[in-house]
Amino acid sequence: MARRAFQAVILGPPGSGKGTISERIREHFGLRPVSCGDLLRGNISRSTGYPRSVVQVHTLALHFPLDTVLELQVPTAILQQRLTSRWLHPGSGRIYNTEFNKPLVQGVDDITGEPLTQREDDRPKTVARRLDLYAECTKPVIEYYTKEGILHTFSGSQTNQIWPDVFNFLKDHIKTLPDQLEGPHNA
């Protein structure tokens, strides 16, 4: 009998570290992450829609039953600072942050020397609206997953604070793990 793959969702506001946590999960557990943000942007560009409501989440659950939902909680002030400090090299998708991952020359991509841009989504007024919208839209989804008994919340102000707890939780909950796992170092 074939074993079903471990399926999880990571919820968190913009800038909470979902991409970084997903990459570390891939690295340590060999699971393949799918970025909802990338899917959402693709669906918007194709005008094909995206599941945002509890009804849509419930419908998805019928086809893709989840083992767990990981919620990342990061203080709003930190998210605002993190997002408004983010700059992008449009050609490659490389992301810089003026707080903790600065380019060698301000405003310039380290590899190509081309100018960096700031996404409209990362400008201060837009960031505030995005965080409010996330809280409003996600509250019923979080309540749904809480009632289902599969929501697990991880809090901190930095991904490196959250990651060890996520690692230990997954290590205890994924049934198809190799016998030896590398510890929760910060990738």
Domain residue limits, the chain:
8-173
Using pLDDT thresholds of 50, 70 and 90, give the confidence band for residue 64: confident
Short-list 121, 120, 85, CA closest to 103: 85
Summarize the confidence of residues 167-180 as an average pLDDT. Answer: 74
- Mean pLDDT on 106-127: 94
Q: Which amino acid is at 176?
A: T
**DSSP characters over 153-182:** EEE-SSHHHHHHHHHHHHHHH-TT--S---
* Contact present, 58 and 72 (Cβ < 8 Å): no
Rounded CA separation 73/155 (Å): 5
Instruction: Give CA–CA dist 130/178, Å, rounded.
Output: 39
pLDDT at residue 155 in the model: 97
Q: What mean pLDDT is predicted for residues 35-52?
A: 56
180 pLDDT above the threshold of 50: no
pLDDT of residue 66: 86
Q: What is the mean pLDDT of residues 33-59?
A: 62
Q: Which of 97, 62, 72 is nearest to 21 (CA)?
A: 72
**Distance in angstroms (rounded) separating the CA atoms of residues 73 and 89:** 27
How confident is the prediction for the chain on average, in pLDDT?
84
Q: What percent of the chain has pLDDT over 70?
A: 80
8-173 belongs to which CATH class? alpha beta
**Position 148 confidence tier, pLDDT thresholds 50, 70, 90:** very high
* pLDDT at residue number 89: 96
Q: How far is Cα 104 from Cα 99, in angstroms, rounded to an integer?
A: 13
Q: How far is CA 3 from CA 6, 31, 36, 138, 180, in A?
A: 9, 14, 25, 31, 20
- Residue 9's pLDDT is 87
pLDDT at residue 36 above 80?
Answer: no
pLDDT at 37 over 70: no
Q: What is the pLDDT of residues 68-108, one digit of tens each?
A: 999 999 999 999 999 999 999 999 999 999 988 999 999 99
> pLDDT at position 61, please?
76
pLDDT for the residue 187: 47
Which one, of 74, 80, 115, 79, lies nearest residue 96 by Cα? 115
Q: What gap in Å lies between CA 76 and CA 140, rounded to an integer?
A: 19
Q: Tokens 């998210």 identify what position? A: 79
